[in-house]
Chain A
Amino acid sequence: MPQDEPQPQPGRRRTRLYALTDGRTAAAHTVLTMDTTITAATGADVDGGLPTEWQEILAMCAPPGGRAVAEIAARMNIRLTPMTLLLGELADRGLIHHRPPLAVAETTDVHLLMRIRDSLARI
Chain B
Amino acid sequence: MPGYDTTATAHREPAPVKILVAGGFGVGKTTLVETISEIEPLRTEERLTAAGVGVDDLDGIESKTVTTVAMDFGRLTLTDAGVVLYLFGTPGQERFWFMWDDLLNGALGAIVLVDTGRLDRSFPAVDFFESRGLPFVVGANCFHGEQPYTAEEIAAALHLRDPNTPVLMLDARSRTDVRASLIALLDLLITKAQAPAAVSG
Contact = CB atoms under 8 A, between A and B. Distances in A.
Interface of A: 33-37, 39, 41-42, 63-66, 68, 70-71, 73-75, 79-81, 94, 97, 99, 101-104, 106-110, 112-123
Closest 3 CB pairs of A and B: A74-B42, A119-B78, A117-B186
B81 A118 contact: yes
Interface residues of B, number: 50
Contacts of A106: 15
Contacts of B189: 107-108, 113
A79 B83 CA distance: 25
Interface of B: 1-2, 5, 9-10, 12-18, 42-47, 68, 71, 73, 75-76, 78-86, 88, 102-103, 105-108, 179, 182-183, 186-187, 189-190, 192-194, 196
Contacts of A37: 13-16, 84
A68 B46 CA distance: 15
Nearest to A64: B12
A42 B182 CA distance: 35
B93 to A, nearest CB: 15
